[in-house]
Amino acid sequence: MTIDRDRTLRWMELFAESMAAHRQELVALDTAIGDGDHGTNMNRGMQKVREKLEAAASEQTDPSAVLKTVAMTLISTVGGAAGPLYGTLFLELGKGLAGQSEIDLPTYAAAWRKAAEGVQARAKAEPNDKTMLDALLPAVVALEQAPDLNTALRASTEAAEQGMLATTPLVARKGRASYLGERSAGHQDPGATSTFYLFQSAEQALTS
């Protein structure tokens, strides 16, 4: 099984639905250690993505085109750190899939590796800094180590969830949460949480 345009569109649709469904959860998590706007921003951005993809359906000719539209929309509509970081993620992911109408697992995993490197460079963060990278990087490793696409999608979701949960005891070293110092411990990172929902949506949309 491969990933094509229609499955990628379905993935973005499910992620938008997830951001709407979990908006309040993300707001609560971000209120504890940040500005409290992560859920609102991500939901607003992904609803705008739905509108853009629908309005420009004829231009979404392959997975890369879909992801580029997502990136540009999030960069222009999502405030705070999430806009640039998620914009970078989708932009680099789209670049890694450029020129291909059907994507196999090695190509998909390699594109995710580039996306993770792009986010890491933009965030200037490392593992265990209590950021979205703590869910993103383990998920990418799971993709790279899996024997087939269905296994990869399940394993990446599980790895992202474990990484997300592992942020709770960490002391934040980046972003607004880092201003709290030791008081940031005991709270799950909102960016890692939305990243988990991104991989969960991918599994739901792309698994055969």
Per-domain boundaries in the chain: 5-206
Give 205's pLDDT tier (boundaries 50, 70, 90): very high
Q: Determine the pLDDT at residue 2.
A: 85
Average pLDDT over the chain, rounded to whole? 94
- Give percent of the chain above pLDDT 70: 100
Q: Determine the pLDDT at residue 155.
A: 98
Q: Determine the pLDDT at residue 186.
A: 87
Q: Between 101 and 91, whose confidence is greater? A: 91
Question: Contact 123/85 with Cβ under 8 angstroms?
Answer: yes
Architecture of the structural domain at 5-206: Alpha Horseshoe (1.25)
Residues 157-198 have pLDDT tens digits of 999 999 999 999 998 887 777 777 787 798 999 999 999 999
The predicted model scores a pTM of 0.96
Q: Between 207 and 79, whose confidence is greater? A: 207
Report the SS3 class of residue 10.
helix
**In whole angstroms, what is the distance from residue 171 CA to residue 67 CA?**
33
Question: Contact 91/122 with Cβ under 8 angstroms?
Answer: no
Give the long-range contacts of residues 149-152, CB within 8 A, separation 24 or more: 149/1, 149/2, 149/3, 149/104, 149/105, 149/108, 149/206, 149/207, 149/208, 150/1, 150/207, 150/208, 152/105, 152/108, 152/109
Q: Determine the pLDDT at residue 175.
A: 77
Q: Determine the pLDDT at residue 43.
A: 97
First-to-final CA distance of the chain: 7
Give the angle subtended at the CA of 130 by the CAs of 129 and 132, to the nearest 5°. 110
Q: Between 100 and 163, whose confidence is greater? A: 163
Q: Between 135 and 184, whose confidence is greater? A: 135
